[in-house]
Structure 1
Amino acid sequence: MGFLTPNASGELDVLKTYALQQLAQMRTTVHGLSDEQANSTPTASDLSLTSLLMHTAEVAVFWSADAASAPKEPELPTDMQDHSLDELVADPRGLTAALDYFDRGVRYATDNLDKVSDLSAPVPVPEAPWYPDDLESWEARWCLLHLCTEIARHVGHADIIRETIDGKGSYELNDLAEAADAD
């Protein structure tokens, strides 16, 4: 999937297409890197590309599950955990393992996105200190827009890290990844 998000029809299809395209962009940021490069932290941030891959996978799984199960509580996969960013920063796994985790998350998210049927369905807001106490629910639509926003934010961060590692930007990486897929 190239740099430009493919055209789609209807609000749900547009949201799904955008989320999946951004996830594809996240994966492209690590194209051609070694474990050492993917685990490096060459910017002021403590995040590496592997930690961003794993975090983005979890974001995709959990927010898509919320939208898919609304108005009920989501059923989350047992093999995807909700790690803190600090845990992911400290995670020593290599690029192949991080990509396996990421790809599994993308598969779960894709399945969840296929199950969303009502964008107006209320999604219960989980208890967390950063959510207002009086906020009881938001729409499935809001969850999917939040999902797209979070992924895009992390892809931008990944782009900066990748450019700092070897100077390769997203346009060049898309071309390289598409050429490799064609082989």
Structure 2
Amino acid sequence: MPGYAPPVADERTALTAYLAHQRRALRATAHGLTDGQARMAASASELSIGGLIKHAGRCEDFWTDLVLQQQRGLQRKPDETLADVLAAYAEAAERTDAVIAGVGDLGQAVPVPRGVPWFPEEVGEWSVRWVLLHLIEETARHGGHADVIRESIDGATLYPLLAAAEAWPDPWFQPWERSFKTPVSMISGVVGR
């Protein structure tokens, strides 16, 4: 798969293609990590790649529930593996895609939850279009966080990770390969979670 979103013919395809592209980039940051590395807070924050992917999946579930005007409880699972987190993220993405495919009008109203301090009180509803744009923004923001964390763990960057994860032909990028060097985060004394 190329490193960019594919050409698009219409608004719905553009929004879903860009969301899929951002998901792919976020997932790629986890390529080749162990469960322990996926839990590492390898930067100045407490964020980890596994935690960011879990958060992105929960965000998709939350916003998809709003589109459907339903509410589900948050499901926590102790001792999750990276594979568990990636599978849950894939399920959330599939559910979002299925719900969006079933929406006839991207202008459909989505009620703004009340009593949440970061949601504006003066806005009563968003559109499905707004929700998709927000999911793209949220996924891209956390993908950037994950890029920094991954580079702190073992020096890996996005395009070599994508090339390795997707077995790209190799005219431009040397695909990432596991290195058994000491992670930068361990050298600097950052303890992972």
Task: State the Cα deviation string for residues 119-144 of structure 1 (Å, max 9, x = none).
Answer: 11221101112222221111221111
Match of 1:99 in 2: 86
2:90 is aligned with 1:136: no
CA pair 46-52 structure 1, distance change in 2 beyond 3 A: same
Alignment-derived partner of residue 144 in structure 2: 156
In structure 2, the residue matched to 1:122 is 109
Partner Cα separation in structure 2 for residue 105 and residue 147 of structure 1: 12
Give deviations 1:10-67, integer Å, cap 9, x for gaps: 1111001111111111111111111111111110111111111111111123224434
Alignment of 1:71-82 (within 5 A): 73=69, 75=70, 78=72, 81=74
- What is the one-letter code of the residue matched to 1:113? I
CA displacement at 1:92 relative to structure 2: 4.2
Structure 1 residue aligned with 2:50? 50
C-alpha distance in structure 1 between counterparts of 2:102 and 2:66, whole Å: 11
Q: Which residue in the other structure is 1:19 paired with?
A: 19
**Bigger-Rg structure (1/2):** 2
Q: Whose helix fraction is larger, Structure 1's or Structure 2's?
A: 1
* CA shift for structure 1 position 2: 3.2
What is the distance in 1 between the residues matched to 2:20 and 2:99? 12
Task: Determine the C-alpha separation between the residues in 2 that align with 1:110 and 1:122.
Answer: 18
Aligned position for 2:167? 179
Secondary structure at the residue paired with 1:179?
coil
Distance in 1 (alpha carbons) for counterparts of 2:30 and 2:151? 11
Whether the 8 Å CA contact 1:35–1:95 is kept in 2: the answer is: yes
CA RMSD of aligned residues (A): 2.1
CA deviations over 1:98-124 (Å, ceiling 9, x no partner):
112112212212212212221112211
Is 1:111–2:104 an aligned residue pair?
no
Corresponding pairs, count: 167
1-structure distance, mates of 2:40, 2:124 = 40
Q: Distance in 2 between matches of 1:170 and 1:96?
A: 19
Q: Using the aligned pairs only, state the percent identity.
A: 36
Runs (5+) with no aligned partner, structure 2: 169-193
Q: TM-score when scaled to structure 2?
A: 0.79
Asked whether the equivalents of residues 3 and 170 of structure 1 are also in contact (C-alpha less than 8 Å), the reply is no
The structure-2 alpha-carbon separation of the partners of 1:7 and 1:65, relative to structure 1 and needing over 3 Å to count, comes to farther
- Counterpart-to-counterpart distance in 1, 2:58 and 2:120: 23
